Amino acid sequence: MKPDPAAPADQLNLLRQQLILAQVRIMELEDVRDELAPKLTETTNLLSAAQALADLKVDETAHLERVRASLQAEFDHLRHLQHVTNEALNAARAEAGGLAAREKALLSEVENLHLLTGQLAEAERQHLTRIASLEKDLASAQSGVATQLARISQLDAEQRAMKASRSWRWTAWLRSLERAFGGKP
């Protein structure tokens, strides 16, 4: 039985088709890598901005804590002053009576202090809520970056494995012929 002369040509055409398909897949993977690179950069920039914002909010929280401690000290001092004033008021009433106006002023100051303390507590609660929201956003962004980095690593490993394969080396001459006769580089 004679060998079929068309069979090697069919195998050669089949090999060329497979080579072309492999090159197309490589180019598609390179396009995906090129598309993911700016997204990674953007995500990294977002993470940096989120970290800077988180650092700023931490500094603001520390400042608010110092302000709260200062207001608490003032509150305690005013409470002590209220106590001393009440004792002096009682003594003055016993001696002269008629210091009701001073007592009202002092009570007004205490109410103002209570109002300021409430406002400070509300501001602190809002600030802590904002920090928690930023921490969630930061964790979400970090998770997305980790996923994208893993995908990039996987694609790079696949490309290195393909280029290190025996078939890639053996078909280098076909690619050079393809480039020489008007194929894609």
Task: Work out how many domains the chain is built from and give that number.
Answer: 1
Q: What pLDDT is stored for residue 90 in this prediction? A: 85
Q: What pLDDT is stored for residue 99 in this prediction? A: 53
- Reading phi first (left if > 0) and then psi (alpha if -120 to 50, else beta), residue 4 is in beta
Query: From residue 123, how far is each of 37, 51, 60, 63, 96 by CA, in Å?
Result: 40, 22, 11, 12, 44
Q: What is the mean pLDDT of each run of 10 residues along the chain (185 residues)?
A: 64 93 95 90 91 92 91 90 87 73 84 91 92 92 94 95 92 90 67
* Gap between the Cα atoms of 158 and 26, Å rounded: 10
Domain that holds residue 98: 9-180
Q: What pLDDT is stored for residue 134 in this prediction? A: 92
Q: Domain holding 21: CATH number? A: 1.10.287
Contact present, 144 and 50 (Cβ < 8 Å): no
Could you tell me if residue 4 is inside a domain? no
Q: What pLDDT is stored for residue 183 in this prediction? A: 62
